[in-house]
Amino acid sequence: MAEPKRVPDVRKEVTVEAPIERAFAIFAEHPIEWWPEHHVFVENRQSITIEPKVGGRYYERGADGTEIAWGTVVEWDPPRRIVLTWRVGPNWQPIHDDEKASFIEVDFRPDGPDRTVVSLTHSGLDRHGEIAEFIHSALDGPSPGETLAQYRDVVARHMKARAAELADGPVTLINRFTVTGSAEEFERAFATTAAYFAEQPGFIDHNLLRQTDEPRSYVNVARWTDGASLRAAVTRPEFKRHALALRAVSTSDPKVFSVRLTTTAVDAG
């Protein structure tokens, strides 16, 4: 009996103007921004989440709370590689396990300090069975393809906003963390990171706040003398291990603000 015809991988690539850590973070933490709008399993999609760990789900949530997973995280190696299963069945409908799912392999390669080459490979397409060749035909096409083209635009927008936020002058970093692992481990990792920042030029102070009615939700409020000092601190090689430790147990949403108004208490005396 002849062996089934192997369906080849589909690989596409794009270069983005961002350091590898930022390129990875934007891909992993903001999929709702670059995910094609017509690639959807739920009605009125509100969010897409990639859980940052091996065995985590990546799923979308609709306005009515319905969640459907696109697959499972098979490899999680920030900031260089993510591998996900891709649970797509006949008529582009979801399948609910990984048995017939192919793989999405995303690799990040630095091309200098502020540029990253990102490749996305659909592999193991044979696992889709009878529809494998159809799926290959649908995916095959010129690089970078719709998904990576949208991702490139999102990276450019994030980097432009970041450059504006990090302009000279006093800035406040407000970073909201959602703990995905142990709260105690997160606080230890943050304390180590805090010690690193305390030694950096331009750092003034920060406060880590825990939401009283949601113990997995934290906010860090950090003040810096200027945006350039903050950018220098988070782009130094030494910061990488701190960022990885925090990402292992939490997701984050950092934003940088400039001071517009300061009010102090009136002296009652």
pLDDT digits (tens, 9 = 90+) for 65-110: 899 999 999 999 999 999 999 999 998 899 988 999 999 999 999 9
Q: Is residue 14 part of a domain?
A: yes
Extract the tokens encoding 52.
């940052």
| CA gap 130, 153 in Å, rounded | 35
Q: Is 100 in a helix, a strand, or coil? A: coil
Q: How many residues does the chain have?
A: 269
Q: Are residues 136 and 19 in the same domain?
A: yes
CATH for 52: 3.30.530.20
- The average pLDDT across 240-265 equals 89
| pLDDT over 80 (residue 267) | no
Question: In the predicted model, what is the mean pLDDT of the chain?
Answer: 90
pLDDT at 136: 94
Once rounded to an integer, what is the mean pLDDT over residues 190-203? 94
In a domain, 191, yes or no: yes
pTM, two decimals, is 0.63
pLDDT of residue 231: 84
Least confident of 57-61, 68-72, 193-197, 265-269: 265-269
132 and 29 both lie in a single domain: yes
In a domain, 266, yes or no: no
Q: What is the pLDDT of residue 2?
A: 45
- In this prediction, residues 129-152 reach a mean pLDDT of 93
> Based on the domain organization, do 124 and 225 belong to the same domain?
no
What are the C-alpha distances in Å from 265 to residues 65, 205, 231, 262? 43, 20, 32, 10
Domain co-membership, 159 together with 172:
no
Cα gap 15→111, rounded to integer Å: 9
Beta strands in 91-216 (DSSP E): 102-110, 116-123, 171-179, 203-210
Helices first, then strands: H and E counts in the chain: 7, 11
Task: Give the residue from 164, 175, 158, 172 showing the smallest Cα distance to 258.
Answer: 172
| Whether the predicted pLDDT of 3 surpasses 90 | no
245: domain CATH number is 3.30.70.100
Amino acid at 165: E
Pair 139, 48 in one domain:
yes
Domain end among 163, 186, 208: 163
24 and 72 in a single domain? The answer is: yes
Nearest to 57 by CA among 47, 67, 71: 71
Predicted confidence at residue 165, as pLDDT, reads 59
Are 67 and 59 in contact by the 8 Å Cβ rule? The answer is yes
* DSSP conformational letter for 213: T
Report which secondary-structure segment, H or E, holds 198.
helix 183-198
| CA distances, 6 to each of 103, 119, 126, 127, 136 (Å) | 15, 22, 6, 10, 11
Same domain, 86 and 150: yes
Q: Do 154 and 179 lie in a common domain? A: no
Q: Residue 4: pLDDT above 60?
A: no
Residue 77 and residue 205 in one domain? no
pLDDT of residue 126: 94
Candidates 18, 15, 31; CA nearest to 163 is 18
Q: Say whether both 16 and 100 belong to one domain.
A: yes
How do the residues of the chain divide into helix, strand and coil, expressed in percent and rounded to 5?
A: 30, 35, 35
The helix/strand/coil state of 7 is coil
| Judgement on whether residues 157 and 183 belong to the same structural domain of the protein | no
Residues 116 and 53 in one domain: yes
Could you report the per-residue pLDDT of 33-67, keeping only the tens digit for each?
Answer: 999 888 888 888 889 999 999 999 999 999 888 99
Provide the number of structural domains found in the chain.
2
User: Could you tell me if residue 2 is inside a domain?
Assistant: no
Range of the domain at 75: 10-163
pLDDT at 227 over 90: no
